[in-house]
Structure formats: C-alpha cells, structure tokens
C-alpha cells in the first residue's frame, strides 16, 4: 500500500485523512485489479492524492495456489489494464525471489538442541572409543 500501518495499539482508530474507496475489476479469466481511490472523510474524491492500482494473481504451486499482489504503475484504469501483464510478471518474479531467500535462510539456520546451552566441555563423548 501507499503507507505502512502504524504500530498496533489497544485502541485502533482510522485516520480520516488516509481514506480510500475500493473497487475491484476483473476479466474473470486472467486477473483482478483493485483500484483504491482517495476520498475525504465525507466520501468525496480527494484529488490531492494519487489513485492506487493493485493487481492480484495466483501462482500455482505443489502446495496449492499462492496469492500474489503487486502494484501497477498507472494513472487510469485503462492504463492499469494495459500494464497488468508486465506488472504481474514482475510481481511473480519478486515472489519467487522472496521464496528462494526464505529457502536459503531456512537451509542455513542453526538448530539449537532443546534445553538451551551445551554442557561444559561441549557435547559428551568427544569421539573417543570407550569400552564397557
């Protein structure tokens, strides 16, 4: 989105200066465009802020569909429709990079045994052969 949400507090309040009207457009075949039109607190269009166009698609994986959201740089709905395919490709590429980074981090993580720290002197046994 355009701005990061504020830290969560015990008393959630909406910012009347950051309101958007949301509309969804789809061709029912390829994708969905979410259009966020800025509005004032009384619901009138706010021309001082830009309209946000967000594309949505699904990437089929062996675990099922993975929803992907991506910004579409546009100033009108027709421009957003025309730029949807290129923005979707970039959105999928970004998702693939994130998945690869998550896999890399998971494979290089250090596993700490249950119970916390190692005993003094390291792991017991030390690799020496012991006879009964």
Q: Which residue has the higher pLDDT, 31 or 112?
A: 31
Residue 108 domain flag: no
Residue 5 domain flag: no
Give 35-47 pLDDT, tens digit per residue.
999 999 999 999 9
The tally of domains found in the chain comes to 1
Residue 128 domain flag: no
Residue 42 domain flag: yes
Residue 115 domain flag: no
Give 7-40 pLDDT, tens digit per residue.
666 789 999 999 999 999 999 988 899 999 999 9
| Cα separation values, 24 from 33, 46, 127, 132, Å | 6, 19, 65, 75
Q: Which residue has the higher pLDDT, 48 or 66?
A: 48
Helix residue spans in 20-69 (DSSP H)? none
Range of the domain at 36: 16-102
Residue 131 domain flag: no
Whole-number Å distance between alpha carbons of 115 and 10: 35
């Amino acid at each position: 989105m355009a701005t990061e949400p504020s830290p969560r507090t015990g008393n959630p309040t909406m910012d009347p200066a950051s309101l958007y009207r949301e509309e969804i457009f789809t061709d029912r075949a390829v994708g969905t465009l979410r259009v966020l039109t800025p509005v004032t607190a009384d619901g009138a269009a706010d021309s001082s802020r830009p309209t946000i166009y967000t594309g949505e698609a699904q990437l089929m994986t062996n675990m099922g569909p993975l929803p992907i959201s991506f910004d579409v740089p546009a100033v009108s709905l027709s421009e957003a429709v025309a730029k949807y395919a290129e923005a979707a490709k970039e959105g999928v590429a970004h998702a693939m990079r994130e998945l690869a980074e998550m896999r890399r981090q998971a494979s290089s993580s250090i596993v700490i045994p249950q119970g916390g720290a190692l005993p003094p002197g390291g792991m017991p046994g030390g690799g020496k052969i012991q006879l009964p």
